Every structure is written in structure tokens, then in C-alpha cells.
Structure 1
């Protein structure tokens, strides 16, 4: 009887160590709100936007939220609207707290699993592309309830 309890405890620990922490905490998909602005900074709703990473392509109309598959790779975004130059952007993928949990608590196998599944990473949750510009959105600049400020690929923050 005592050996059975020990066996169950060991099996439970083995399962816990092979399961990724981020897989438990985070889903493999993430919602991203995509807005578009014209060259003067005025909101343009309904533009056709394509988001893509190594897991596939995702479509959304600006002003709405897209569900994308999380990945360690950055997310490329292109929005099109008749009569305007395309708005292009890159949403930077950053490791999330689930990955840190894997590293801190020794789940090396879990970290590998979560990296491969993408669950250890998060994109900015709200971006605003501007037609005629190429911007970079970094989750490290995110503030609750606000769109992430876009930066030019050279590092300068975009003006609205």
C-alpha cells in the first residue's frame, strides 16, 4: 500500500516535469486587436489585414480582433485599403511568464515543449498600423487599455 502511494507520487512528479508550464497557463492562440489609421492619424475601419507567422496566416478587418497562433517568431502584418498605400508592421514575439516559470522551476523539457508549441510567447495585444508606413510593435511597450506605440524599424517612435 505504501509503495503504491510512492509510485503515484513519482508518476505525478514525472508528468508535471514533462508538461510545459506555459502550456498550462497559456493557450496556443492569442487575441490581437488590429486598428488602422490614415496618413493623418484618423481611424480607418474595415481595412483587410493579413497576419502571418510560421504557424500560418490569419485574416481580420481593422477595428476587430484576430486570433493568431503564438510563436517564437515575430508576426508580420499587412493591411490594405483602396486608394491608400499598404500599412505594414511587425509584432515582436516576447517570452512570457510561462517560459520563465519553466526555467525557474527546472522544467527544461517543458520549456522545449512550450517553445515548439509557441505557448511560451506573447505578441502585443493591440496594434495600430498606419497606411503608408512600416512600423514595429513591441510588447515590452504595452500598457493596459492602450495600443502599443509603433516604432519605425530604425527605432524612432511613430508620430500620430
Structure 2
């Protein structure tokens, strides 16, 4: 009984508002590939969400501002057509902890600040394509597979 109580208390202590658990920024590694799968480093990339724009070179990891809105990414290279992507923002464990244990106030604050959300941490854009990357498909230590957006009938 005491072990269960300690386990529950430990879980409660580790949960909490995403503002405390997560930073306001999130790392994302952006790589670029040709349509044949060859890596192209050094492309100029712009990562944009409702909090602003960050620039980076492909192959680098950069910090982006967390947000509940998706992240648009465009990479340009003089020898290739533009590579474009959308990284889907998904709620993280901090938001779930708020809802379950902390009540609505913390969840509202973290939602409004964006700290309750996370983007994929590693994406590979393909020149000449537009891809969508969803964090829910992320596997530790691997790039998230991009999918072409569905076309409207």
C-alpha cells in the first residue's frame, strides 16, 4: 500500500504545468534531400509560426517558439526547387498533466503561451515537394516521415 502511495505521489510531483516542465522554445533539426534522396546541407531555411520566423541552414538544429499553431518550413537552395513543409503542433504531456491534475487554469495558460505543444524534433524536407510532418509519428532518434498533403476531390 505504501509503495502505491509513493508511486502516485511521485507521478503527481512530476506532472504539472507545461510552463514549468517545458521551455518556450523547442529544438527542431531540419535536413534537406534531393528527390533521389541525396542529402543537401546548407540550404537556407525559414521556419514560421504565429510567434514569428526563425532562419537556419539545413543540417542544423535550431530553436523555434512553441505554439498551438503549425510550423511552416521553406528551404531554398540555388541548385534545387524549393522544399516546403508543415510541422504539425501536438499537445504534449505537460498539457495532459494540467488537465488531469492541475485543473483548467494551468491548461489555459499553457495553451495560450504555446508551452503545452511540441513540434517534430527531426524533419527531412525534399526539394520540389511539399510535405507534412506529424509529431505523433515520431520515433526516438529517427526523423519523422513526411507525407504529401491530401488533395481535395
What TM-score does the superposition give when structure 2 sets the normalisation length?
0.87
> Displaced runs of 4+ in structure 1, greater than 4 A?
none
Q: Distance in 1 between matches of 2:60 and 2:150?
A: 28
Of 102, 105, 110, which residue of structure 1 is paired with 2:106?
A: 110
Larger Rg: 1
Q: Point out where structure 1 has 5 or more consecutive residues left out of the alignment.
A: 1-19, 156-160
Q: Point out where structure 2 has 5 or more consecutive residues left out of the alignment.
A: 1-15
Alignment of 1:66-105 (within 5 A): 66-105=62-101
What's 2:3 paired with?
none
CA RMSD of the aligned region, Å? 1.1
Q: Deviations over 1:69-92 (max 9, x none)?
A: 000000000000002110000000
How far off is 1:45 after superposition?
0.2
What's 1:135 paired with?
131
How far off is 1:21 after superposition?
0.5
Q: Distance in 1 between matches of 2:65 and 2:134?
A: 17
Q: Deviations over 1:49-108 (max 9, x none)?
A: 000000000000000011000000000000000021100000000000000001001421
